Chain A
């Protein structure tokens, strides 16, 4: 430890405010870019999920299966599994 006490660590002989502002802004912007990235991902996923549930019947086989099943939620069936594998 380069400092005698915790308060000395905070004050840093008068340079504390500069050092801590820098680190504060650093972590803030790092958090911002992470948050923005996560938000982008969520947005893409959500719009695609919405589009998939309201997609016109017959566009893909999975969608048709869901339609005939009555529900709008995608249910992984053995048939769709085999199609996606092929």
Chain B
């Protein structure tokens, strides 16, 4: 366990192991998410209430799900940065924050477009959409703060504090927004509430969720590798990788 932890501290080890995982993540992720999406778009039965517009669920739920869990992962990484000062945790936060923000934008956009045929308006101050909007603000704050500092170490620790403070607030925000929502529009038809989802609907949804998770894994590892290359550019092994064109795989001879 501790050996694994120490190995994680070695950027070169990380680079190699990430390179070994990435093709699998990309391949499986593409297959699963495309299978889920094609199944959901063309083969899943129609929803008796919402008609075909519910087919947006196969990208709305994965992006919304992922956007929230990416924030949680960043908060965990933030704790690791603060407590163990592990550099890779901060590399992850830097790599993941823009991806998380884009996922949040996607979840908001698909939610809004879904709202048009369902509620008749593009935007509704529904509890889920509003929470997602606040999550987007949190992401933007993190990205803004991480770019505001010129010193990398300071930025890492400041961002870690901010993500941890944010994650403490997320349950409070969720609770308050839900409460506010019931206060203002009592119990309307909820977007993603699915009391009776047949397997033909939720299996492709599950595939799409799994697939996007794997794809996120791939893109974040790729971005982490880039950040590692940038930070460790003075070391010998990075110079070798750069000279070889900066590919994601470490040559077995160099490892």
Which A residues form the contact surface with B (CB < 8 A)? Answer: 1-3, 9, 12-16, 18-19, 21-23, 25-26, 29-30, 32-34, 36-37, 40-42, 44-45, 48-49, 51-52, 60, 62, 74, 76, 83-84
Contacts and interface: CB of A to CB of B under 8 A. Distances in A.
B46 A29 contact: no
B223 interface: yes
B52 interface: yes
A32 B240 CA distance: 29
Contact of A13 (B51, B222, B254): B51
A70 B233 CA distance: 24
27 contacts: A1-B43, A2-B45, A3-B42, A15-B51, A15-B53, A18-B56, A18-B117, A19-B41, A22-B113, A22-B114, A23-B59, A25-B106, A29-B102, A30-B215, A36-B98, A37-B219, A40-B223, A41-B222, A41-B226, A42-B246, A45-B245, A48-B239, A48-B242, A49-B243, A62-B239, A84-B236, A84-B254
Contacts of A12: 51-53, 55
Contacts of B116: 18
Contact of A45 (B51, B106, B246, B254): B246
A65 B225 CA distance: 28
B246 A29 contact: no
A21 B102 CA distance: 16
Contact of B242 (A2, A34, A45): A45
A60 B223 CA distance: 28
**Which size bracket describes the interface of B in this complex?**
35 or more
B211 to A, nearest CB: 11
A62 to B, nearest CB: 7
A84 B106 CA distance: 45
B106 A29 contact: yes
B182 to A, nearest CB: 27
Interface in B66-84: none
A22 B59 contact: yes
Contacts of B53: 12, 15, 18-19
Interface string B177-208: 00000000000000000000000000000000
B37 A22 contact: no
Contact of A15 (B52, B238, B243): B52
B42 A52 contact: no
Contacts of B225: 41
A18 B237 contact: no
A32 B103 CA distance: 12
A32 B102 contact: yes
Contacts of B60: 22
B7 to A, nearest CB: 19
A22 B230 contact: no
Contact of A49 (B51, B98, B226, B242): B242
A41 B227 CA distance: 8
Contacts of B51: 12-13, 15
B130 interface: no
A9 B237 CA distance: 52
A71 B46 CA distance: 66
B223 A37 contact: yes
B123 interface: no
